[in-house]
Structure 1
């Protein structure tokens, strides 16, 4: 199998992987699989050299189409992760305020300083 065909197969696997619905508890595994496939594909890309046959050109167009979808799904995944991080920070802050409600109370409350002499 040529390097071009291997790149095509890896791109197809990536495409199928990102199209599957993603649960929060499966996210780490999915990211690891995606990273593995991307690394394999990245190693094969330098081995793909022109001239290309007409069938390889068609496969290349399919890879480009898949890459657009893959990139869009990566953007969605990044947004989900960012949203989860924000939510985690909020819940952490809320739970900390519940544990120690007087942590952020200013000590100068109720005091008045007269600067006149």
Structure 2
């Protein structure tokens, strides 16, 4: 099977996977499959020949069009994951502060003047 056709199939699978959207719960299998598809795609890109027939050029144009849709979707999903992680970090800090509200205060209640 020609390398361009393999790349087209992998890109279609990636497009279908990303188009389903990032699940709200149980994201690990989704992200693992996404990484697997991206790794396969990278390997297929590296095995591409230098000269292409007309059919391969047409398939390449289809790959480029799908990629124009895949990139913004991946960027949006990445931002969503980053946002969720920052929310979790904030919640963790707030929980620690709630559990021990006097942790950051000095032990004896004295005030230290920082001016000299």
TM > 0.5 fold call:
yes
CA offsets, 1:37-65, max 9 Å, x none?
A: 11112222232213212221111111111
1:15-94 residue pairs with structure 2 within 5 A? 15-94=15-94
Structure 2 CA distance for partners of 1:91 and 1:40, relative to 1, 3 Å: same
Name structure 1 gaps, 5 residues minimum.
none
Q: Please show how residues 96-107 of structure 1 align to structure 2 within 5 Å.
A: 96-106=96-106
Cα RMSD between the aligned structures?
Answer: 2.2
Using structure 1 for the length normalisation, give the TM-score: 0.84
SS of residue paired to 1:33: helix
Please give the alpha-carbon distance, in whole angstroms, between the structure 1 residues aligned to 2:13 and 2:76: 18
